[in-house]
Structure 1
Amino acid sequence: MPGIRGPSDYSLDPPRHPSLSVNSKEPYNAEPRRSDLVSSYITPVHFFYKRNHGPVPLVDDIHCYHVTVDGLIDFPRKLFMTDIRMLPKYTVAATLQCAGNRRTTMSKVRTVRGVGWDISALGNAVWGGAKLADVLELVGIPKLTSSTRLGGMHVEFVSIDKCKEEKGGPYKSSIPLSQATNPDADVLLAYEMNGEVLNRDHGYPLRVVVPGVIGARSVKWLDSISINSEACQGFFMQKDYKMFPPTVNWDNIDWSTRRPQMDFPVQCAICSLEDVNTVQPGKVKVSGYAASGGGRGIERVDISIDGGKTWVEAKRHQKPGIEYVADGFDSDKWAWVLFEADVDIPHNTEIVAKAVDIAGNVQPENVETIWNLRGILNTSWHRVQVNVSHSKM
């Protein structure tokens, strides 16, 4: 499209922080170290995980760049960045999480397909831009609309990004129109991240941010928006990111039997420790993140130092100096919660963490019960092994 293009190779990809753990070089997929991930409530852009499906698009002329809005609507139009920036600007603190986060642990049960993510395929940022509900009003769709006059019920986002899964076509995904037109859902067309212009890895010049939903629905490098009668029929909606039971394999899979995954389940992970650690006997700090989809706050994070036999409650916090309340007015409902606890470790043991959200949802105990062939939504108890050394370290 005018102003932006998708390069055919990776030679024009942007530079990245050298400390990132690279899980795939081409396309570039990488995550930060555990300790870097939770070093602050707002994840620095350079430590925010990078999820790409092809070469990163390149903007040649921002003044020519525009987004086409069409489909089952009365007033199709092209929106330039000046049009979008004229709308009221909102900032939303929201955690984006790849559905494949913690896939490496799931793959230890049985082999799965997909990028091998550890526990850091997520990040918490302050996104700035126009609400999608306001954008859709420009094409004649009122707020809180679930169906247009012409029968449109889904909003499809199409990227300039080209990917092999779409046979060289663009990445695309969709959300229900009822969610897109609901101002309280805080769906954004974002042009800023942490108070700065989006960088190329994160969707410059414009991306969708759908809070509380798996990252696959927050389409980057936006090319067009289409109002359709059915959900997006693209690969990443119909043949990926669906939750199957452990009995389904690649020989008996029927993609049509499952809905596309949207909200992500309650999740937490320990970031202050690696999978296996050697420590001195005594106090050990256990800290990490917890998050749940759909705007559900974190009611509790439980820590066990005996593999889950007994538990203590961790302290939770978000913004510095403000008490976190799971459904409080001052809390960021779309954002993660950081937790910490000091525990006494006298001998070798397994430390376990699990979170509970305000709906009472709790993480499953074992990964085996939620194993699926695509390795998505591993929200089982997070476990780390601690070995006690009595020699000086």
Structure 2
Amino acid sequence: MPNQPARDLPERMARLIVHERAPYNAEPPLDRLRVSWRTAAVDFYVRSHGDLPAIDARTYRLEVGGALGRKLSLSLAEIQAMPQTTVTATLQCAGNRRADLRAVAPVSGDPWDAGAIGTADWTGPRLVEVLTAAGFDMASAREGLHVAFACHDTVDGEDYRYGASIPLAKALAPETLLAHTMNGAALLPEHGFPLRAVVPGYAGVRSPKWLASITVQDRPSDNPIQANDYKFLPPQVDPEGVGPDDGITIETMPLNSAICEPARGAALAAGRTTVRGYAVCGDRAVARVDVSGDGGRHWVQARLEEAAPFAWTFWSAEIDLPPGEHELAARAWDAAGQTQPAAPDDTWNRKGYLGTAWHRVRVTVA
């Protein structure tokens, strides 16, 4: 059936904290992220760089080519008829928690709190299956190849369409999908209907929506999104004029955590308080989460709850809070023994990417 981006969209937008309406960028309140380990599609953050394209699934085609044996053009029905895989994975915007960096000094981009993240069941063929169907010879795979995605959405205020790429090794990994289904239902328009890439462990920018074509090539995509944007730059570097060889291209996401409950500014009763949140690490396991009721002077270890490879870990902790003002803090540790920086000043950059400092929430206890 045809895609209808406007249908029910205002109702879904009303559920979220909208940072921009055009392009549409929004995140859920943090307490809603803790309602379910799998995030409902209507509560999943939305990151758009331009329009929400109207695509008719009946006439949709995905073009696959490049350094392959042959070109392939697939309908949505043909994609759905291929062997299907479901992967539970967390997607996260590279600008998640930008608000914390913005509090240090001005940065560009939407002021995301800690809600530019979500976890879902994604279903579709593995990307490697699609490449193989197009004649890609696994035996001849060589280093230096990349898989580039071109999409149907036009970047806001620009004359080009969205595009990005990933290294071939990640494209061939079993967790990397072309998804047409999210939590058992067709993708919503704002989440990429009818087809998107899902690249677990990588920043959301590498999981493009509204796919138009896939190309295997000997270099990263030259689309400005890939070549110039989403670069982690030293704090003194001005993002204007940044090129393909500057900065660190953001791919695998770093260790992060956030307090979802209680909310900032909450008024609590004295005594035992439950603190809940999430922790996530791109391609490594979360090993421990610590929670503090006094800004990091003393810590208790949180109880780790449901988790999965390439998905976030839910956690909770009980702490005693006497009357007064308190700064709650959370920090995670990964399987390599790495933890988060204490202050956002340590990783501040002009684009506001990769805000991973201890998450801090001030509350009042009566």
- TM > 0.5: yes
Local SS of the residue matching 2:9? coil
- Checking the alignment, whether the CA contact within 8 Å between 2:61 and 2:73 is kept in structure 1 is yes
C-alpha distance in 2 between matches for 1:231 and 1:253? 16
Shift of residue 136 of structure 1? 0.6
C-alpha distance in 2 between matches for 1:97 and 1:251? 24
Determine the structure 1 residue equivalent to 2:317.
341
Q: Aligned ranges for residues 60-79 of structure 1 at < 5 Å?
A: 60=56, 62-79=57-74
Shift of residue 190 of structure 1? 0.3
Determine the structure 1 residue equivalent to 2:177.
188
C-alpha distance in 1 between matches for 2:296 and 2:150? 44
Shift of residue 235 of structure 1? 1.5
User: Alpha carbons of 1:64 and 1:19: their partners in 2 closer, same or farther (altered >3 Å)?
Assistant: closer
Determine the structure 2 residue equivalent to 1:325.
none
Local SS of the residue matching 1:380? coil
Determine the structure 1 residue equivalent to 2:204.
215
Local SS of the residue matching 1:310? coil
Of 287, 292, 298 in structure 1, the residue corresponding to residue 286 of structure 2 is: 298
User: Alpha carbons of 1:143 and 1:194: their partners in 2 closer, same or farther (altered >3 Å)?
Assistant: farther
Of 338, 350, 353 in structure 2, the residue corresponding to residue 376 of structure 1 is: 353
Q: Aligned ranges for residues 145-156 of structure 1 at < 5 Å?
A: 146-147=141-142, 153-156=145-148
Of 22, 27, 35 in structure 2, the residue corresponding to residue 26 of structure 1 is: 22
Q: Aligned ranges for residues 4-19 of structure 1 at < 5 Å?
A: 14-15=9-10, 16-19=12-15
**Structure 2 letter corresponding to 1:289:** Y
**Structure 1 letter corresponding to 2:159:** G
Local SS of the residue matching 2:248? coil
- Checking the alignment, whether the CA contact within 8 Å between 1:70 and 1:226 is kept in structure 2 is yes
- Checking the alignment, whether the CA contact within 8 Å between 1:246 and 1:369 is kept in structure 2 is no
Q: Aligned ranges for residues 94-133 of structure 1 at < 5 Å?
A: 94-133=89-128
Of 266, 284, 290 in structure 1, the residue corresponding to residue 273 of structure 2 is: 284
C-alpha distance in 2 between matches for 1:4 and 1:227? 29
Local SS of the residue matching 1:300? strand
**Structure 2 letter corresponding to 1:106:** L
- Checking the alignment, whether the CA contact within 8 Å between 1:4 and 1:65 is kept in structure 2 is no
Determine the structure 1 residue equivalent to 2:149.
157
User: Alpha carbons of 1:113 and 1:64: their partners in 2 closer, same or farther (altered >3 Å)?
Assistant: same
Local SS of the residue matching 1:348? strand
Alignment RMSD: 2.1
**Structure 2 letter corresponding to 1:139:** A
Q: Please say if 1:168 is aligned against 2:144.
A: no
Of 262, 284, 288 in structure 2, the residue corresponding to residue 273 of structure 1 is: 262
Q: Provide Cα deviations, 1:2-31, integer angstroms capped at 9, x if missing partner.
A: x989x9xx9678332422111111111111
Local SS of the residue matching 1:369? helix
C-alpha distance in 1 between matches for 2:153 and 2:240? 30
C-alpha distance in 1 between matches for 2:230 and 2:92? 13
C-alpha distance in 2 between matches for 1:289 and 1:380? 14
What is the TM-score when the length of structure 2 is the normalising length? Answer: 0.94
Local SS of the residue matching 2:245? helix
C-alpha distance in 2 between matches for 1:108 and 1:253? 24
C-alpha distance in 2 between matches for 1:144 and 1:123? 36
User: Alpha carbons of 1:53 and 1:92: their partners in 2 closer, same or farther (altered >3 Å)?
Assistant: same
**Structure 1 letter corresponding to 2:341:** P
User: Alpha carbons of 1:283 and 1:103: their partners in 2 closer, same or farther (altered >3 Å)?
Assistant: same
Determine the structure 2 residue equivalent to 1:352.
329
For structure 1, the 5+ residue unaligned runs are 319-330
User: Alpha carbons of 1:130 and 1:302: their partners in 2 closer, same or farther (altered >3 Å)?
Assistant: same
Shift of residue 251 of structure 1? 6.8
For structure 2, the 5+ residue unaligned runs are none
Local SS of the residue matching 1:236? helix
- Checking the alignment, whether the CA contact within 8 Å between 1:156 and 1:226 is kept in structure 2 is yes
Shift of residue 308 of structure 1? 1.0
Among all aligned residue pairs of Structure 1 and Structure 2, give the percentage whose two residues are the same amino acid.
38
Determine the structure 2 residue equivalent to 1:48.
44
Local SS of the residue matching 2:135? coil
C-alpha distance in 2 between matches for 1:339 and 1:297? 13
Local SS of the residue matching 1:271? strand
C-alpha distance in 1 between matches for 2:241 and 2:126? 41
Shift of residue 278 of structure 1? 2.1
What is the TM-score when the length of structure 1 is the normalising length? Answer: 0.88
